[in-house]
Amino acid sequence: MLAKHSTRLLRLSDAFGLQPSTPTNTFRTFSSSIAILSYKNSRQKITIPTPDRKPKNEEINKMFVQRVEPETNKLLPPERLAHLLVSIDRKTHFIELVQDDPPVVKIINKKEAHAFRKAYQAKKKEQKKEQKEVQMTWNVGAMDLVHKLQKARKHLERGNMVDIAFAPKAKQELPSRKEMLEKMQHVLDTLNDVAREKHQQTLERNVGVVSLRPQKSKSSMEDESLMAGEKEPPVENEGS
């Protein structure tokens, strides 16, 4: 019966010039298009300002802004943000919102901003360093002294501060003050390639302390000077 019915439908289709319908993949094609579009959108980088990150360029949702004059640190007259964006070289500079109401912006050099951020992160890392202490007696043996100083060296190489303390031991003869100072100087001479004095060594009541901090590289010293130079004074308003 089914075969006869199908044959009859085909004859009717031929008689009226109709083409038999064929199944299409419309739904499948539509679903694939949505999947491709979703993938492309997920690949796009969307930057959303966070509380610790100031809005930049098109993220600044303001029509008019006031720019800070770098030399005088005073506010210039209001101008359209769109005009300001066109005037800068995006490869080397960007505009950053430094105050929301009234909207105040600064034109930032990308290289300087990167160097400042690097120095700031290094300073935060410096603050997280631990304080270590290595103790020994004035009559410490030669091999034990080498072991203690190697321990101090490892702490310093990890970026930690180190106090090396010499103290008297009961029933042991104390060295002379000159010998004490010589032993403390020996510590400095042995570790001078990885450390420098945090503050001046002390010798009081037969207890000597040598306070050391990691030797700073040339780059870290340059970063510190940059951090010091980048501290900005408050913005002055023309009306003040």
Question: What gap in Å lies between CA 33 and CA 28, rounded to an integer?
Answer: 9
The pLDDT value given to residue 123: 76
b/e burial code for range 138-156 (CB count within 10 A of at least 16 → b):
bebeeeeeeebbeebbebb
The pLDDT value given to residue 26: 46
Question: What gap in Å lies between CA 138 and CA 168, rounded to an integer?
Answer: 6
| Residuewise pLDDT in 10s, the chain (240 residues) | 545 555 565 564 555 455 554 444 544 444 444 444 443 443 434 344 444 678 888 889 889 999 888 888 888 899 999 999 999 888 999 989 988 888 999 888 888 888 888 888 877 776 667 789 999 999 999 999 999 999 999 999 988 999 999 999 988 899 999 999 999 999 999 999 999 998 888 999 999 999 999 986 544 444 445 444 544 444 445 444
The pLDDT value given to residue 150: 95
| 104 sits in which H/E element | strand 104-109
The pLDDT value given to residue 219: 46
Strands 93-99 and 79-80: unpaired
Number of helices (H) and strands (E) in the chain: give both, helices first. 7, 8
Helices of type H across 16-171: 26-43, 81-87, 110-127, 142-157
Q: Is 138 left (phi over 0), alpha (psi -120 to 50) or beta?
A: alpha
The pLDDT value given to residue 234: 46
Q: Is the pTM of this model over 0.75?
A: no
Enumerate the domain spans of the chain: 57-121, 129-219
Dihedral angle of Cα 58, 60, 66, 68, to the nearest 10 degrees:
-80
| 64 sits in which H/E element | strand 64-67
> Is 158 in a helix, a strand, or coil?
coil
- The fold adopted by the segment(s) 129-219 is Translation Initiation Factor IF3 (3.30.110)
